[in-house]
């Protein structure tokens, strides 16, 4: 979407309307081509997660066919196609039929994939592109599975919220890759929390502390432009990734929102770059620590860190008046000294289950739209980043309405990204107390 169109769109979007009313679905439209039970799939974004999502989509119940693929880089398409073919080999209902004419490369590849007559599109590019791709898929009336996060800034979240409403009006099915919502341990344990089995919730702790992700893959000598360099090393630039608090930690923050049946009203935090200081690591932080406050005063304490040799934890913990609950496995310890009943049930792969549920909704024409929650859990992570970058305590409504765009003004390999390195090769790093995050 051209930047001028995007700005005009956002000016006319009502945040209150997007979050609130008018979200009833029109259940009269068909899910896919009448008389043909094969669901045709298009993949936009052919990295590891996109390849995995496509393989899982092809592994759902019923006939499926991957017919089109698109990416900014041709080599990504070729390697992804091989991986998908290997993953679904031997599955009689999974067909991979991506002719050369249906392999699309470049910034507009998403349009070409979506226009190939697909029933379902998987959006798995770096998340900065998600609102733009989601908009076109909704406009063209496609069922959509999109990976998390669904945006990297507040304008993008506002756009996704409005598009979620439009998708419901069109009876389009929308899945979001927050797979814990399809993991039976989480489903059952959080239901027990909501039913009051463990008393009242008093606080939450959530973590994504690890040694980090992949190292930057491309050197400057291998890339023709700054845009290509950032695209190939997308994790380390805010307009593409949103920082790791957004790209990874969203999972844990989303669980906290699920437990609280809502979203934080404010937050504060701190963070920085302690270890990952080489210019090759772009502009993102390597650690964030935030406190998110909900409407009833409950606080969720949050940490995410990408530093090797430190304490690692990817987990969520709910403190209640009767105990401490780990939603992934059940009660950890009740205050009376007794052990809580641990979860012992179904342990199916939630990455597969989320596609099973999504495709079942398409085939059965059931209401299915995860975009609103995906957008607001994304906004929770963005709110945290805004606090750590600025050093300010910020209200959610202010962040959602006034948060600055981090996206480029135009897209193309010759275009200029939002941030560029200085003469020393280093990128400007956010400085708490100085960096501005709201208009």
Residues 108-155 have pLDDT tens digits of: 999 999 999 999 999 999 999 999 999 999 999 999 999 999 999 999
Q: Is the pLDDT of residue 317 over 80?
A: yes
* Average pLDDT, integer, range 370-392: 98
Rounded Cα distance between 436 and 289, Å, is: 19
pLDDT at position 329: 83
Q: Is the pLDDT of residue 180 over 60?
A: yes
Give the model's confidence band at 23: pLDDT under 50 very low, under 70 low, under 90 confident, else very high: very low
Look up tokens 């906004």; give the residue. 379
Q: How far is CA 74 from the centre of its chain?
A: 24
Correct CATH for 3-180+352-369 of 3.40.640.10, 3.40.50.720, 3.90.226.10, 2.30.30.100: 3.40.50.720
Give the model's confidence band at 334: pLDDT under 50 very low, under 70 low, under 90 confident, else very high: low
**Tokens matching residue 59:** 């592994």
Rounded Cα distance between 306 and 244, Å, is: 8
Helix, strand, coil % over all residues of the chain, rounded to 5 = 40, 20, 45
**Beta strand pairing call for 120-123 and 299-306:** unpaired
Q: Is the pLDDT of residue 431 over 80?
A: yes
299 DSSP β-pair partners: 203, 293
pLDDT at position 385: 99
Give the model's confidence band at 345: pLDDT under 50 very low, under 70 low, under 90 confident, else very high: confident
Strand ranges, E, within 72-140? 94-96, 103-105, 120-123
Residue in 112, 105, 60 with CA at minimum distance from that of residue 80: 105
pTM exceeding 0.85: yes
* Average pLDDT, integer, range 200-209: 98
Q: Is the pLDDT of residue 17 over 70?
A: no
Q: Is the pLDDT of residue 291 over 70?
A: yes
pLDDT at position 335: 60
105 DSSP β-pair partners: 71
Rounded Cα distance between 20 and 175, Å, is: 20
pLDDT at position 44: 98
SS3 call for 314: strand
pLDDT at position 332: 62
Average pLDDT, the chain: 91
Q: Is the pLDDT of residue 47 over 70?
A: yes
Burial string for 106-130 (b: 16+ CB within 10 Å, else e) reads bbebbbbbbebebbbbbbbbbbbbb
How does pLDDT run across 76-97, given as a tens digit for each residue? 999 999 999 999 999 999 999 9
Taking CA atoms, 98 is separated from 57, 81, 89, in Å, by: 15, 8, 15
Going from N- to C-terminal start, the domains of the chain cover 3-180+352-369, 185-343+379-402
pLDDT at position 251: 98
pLDDT at position 341: 66
* Bond from prior residue into 32 cis (ω within 30 degrees of 0): no
Residue in 79, 131, 57, 95 with CA at minimum distance from that of residue 411: 131
Q: Is the pLDDT of residue 336 over 60?
A: no
pLDDT at position 13: 43
pLDDT at position 255: 98
pLDDT at position 368: 98
Check: CB of residue 249 under 8 Å from CB of residue 304: yes
Q: Fold for 185-343+379-402, please state it.
A: Dihydrodipicolinate Reductase; domain 2 (3.30.360)
Q: Is the pLDDT of residue 279 over 80?
A: yes
Give the model's confidence band at 323: pLDDT under 50 very low, under 70 low, under 90 confident, else very high: confident
Residues ≥6 apart with Cβ < 8 Å to 338 = none
**Beta strand pairing call for 64-71 and 39-44:** parallel
pLDDT at position 285: 98
Helix (H) or strand (E) holding 39, with range, is: strand 39-44
Give the model's confidence band at 337: pLDDT under 50 very low, under 70 low, under 90 confident, else very high: low
pLDDT at position 32: 52
Q: Is the pLDDT of residue 347 over 90?
A: no
């Amino acid at each position: 979407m051209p930047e001028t169109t995007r700005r005009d769109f956002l000016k006319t979007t009502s945040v209150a309307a997007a979050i609130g009313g008018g979200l009833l679905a029109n259940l009269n439209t068909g899910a896919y081509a009448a008389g043909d039970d094969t669901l045709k799939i298009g993949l936009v974004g052919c990295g590891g997660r996109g390849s995995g999502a496509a393989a899982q989509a092809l592994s759902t119940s019923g006939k499926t066919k991957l017919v089109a693929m698109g990416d900014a880089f041709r080599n990504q398409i070729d390697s992804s196609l091989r991986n998908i073919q290997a993953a679904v080999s031997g599955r009689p209902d999974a067909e991979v039929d991506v002719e050369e004419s249906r392999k699309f490369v470049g910034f507009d590849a998403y349009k070409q994939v979506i226009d190939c007559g697909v029933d379902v599109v998987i959006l798995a590019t770096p998340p900065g592109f998600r609102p733009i791709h989601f908009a076109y898929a909704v406009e063209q009336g496609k069922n959509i599975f999109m990976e998390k996060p669904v945006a990297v800034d507040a304008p993008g979240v506002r756009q996704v919220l409005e598009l979620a409403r439009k998708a419901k009006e069109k009876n389009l099915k929308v899945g979001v890759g927050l797979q814990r919502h399809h993991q039976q341990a989480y489903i059952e344990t959080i239901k027990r929390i909501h039913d009051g089995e463990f008393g009242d919730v008093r606080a939450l702790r959530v973590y994504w502390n690890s040694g980090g992700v992949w190292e930057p893959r491309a050197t400057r000598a291998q890339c023709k432009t700054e845009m290509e360099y950032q695209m190939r090393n997308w994790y380390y630039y805010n307009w593409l990734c949103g920082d790791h608090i957004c790209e990874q930690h969203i999972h844990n923050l989303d669980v906290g929102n699920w437990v609280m049946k809502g979203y934080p009203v404010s937050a504060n935090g701190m963070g920085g770059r302690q270890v990952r200081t080489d210019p090759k690591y772009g502009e993102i932080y390597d650690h964030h620590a935030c406190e998110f406050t909900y409407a009833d005063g409950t606080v969720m304490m949050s940490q995410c860190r990408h530093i090797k040799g430190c304490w690692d934890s990817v987990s969520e913990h709910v403190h209640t008046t009767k105990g401490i609950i780990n939603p992934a496995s059940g009660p950890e310890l009740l205050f009376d000294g007794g052990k809580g009943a641990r979860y012992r049930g179904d342990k199916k792969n939630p990455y597969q289950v989320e596609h099973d549920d999504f495709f079942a909704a398409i085939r059965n024409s059931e209401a299915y739209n995860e975009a609103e929650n995906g957008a607001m859990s994304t906004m929770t992570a963005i709110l945290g980043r805004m606090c750590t970058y600025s050093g300010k305590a910020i209200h959610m409504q202010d962040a959602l309405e006034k948060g600055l765009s981090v996206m480029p003004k135009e897209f193309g390999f010759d275009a200029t990204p939002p941030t560029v390195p200085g003469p020393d090769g280093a990128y400007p790093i956010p400085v708490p107390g100085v960096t501005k995050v709201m208009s």
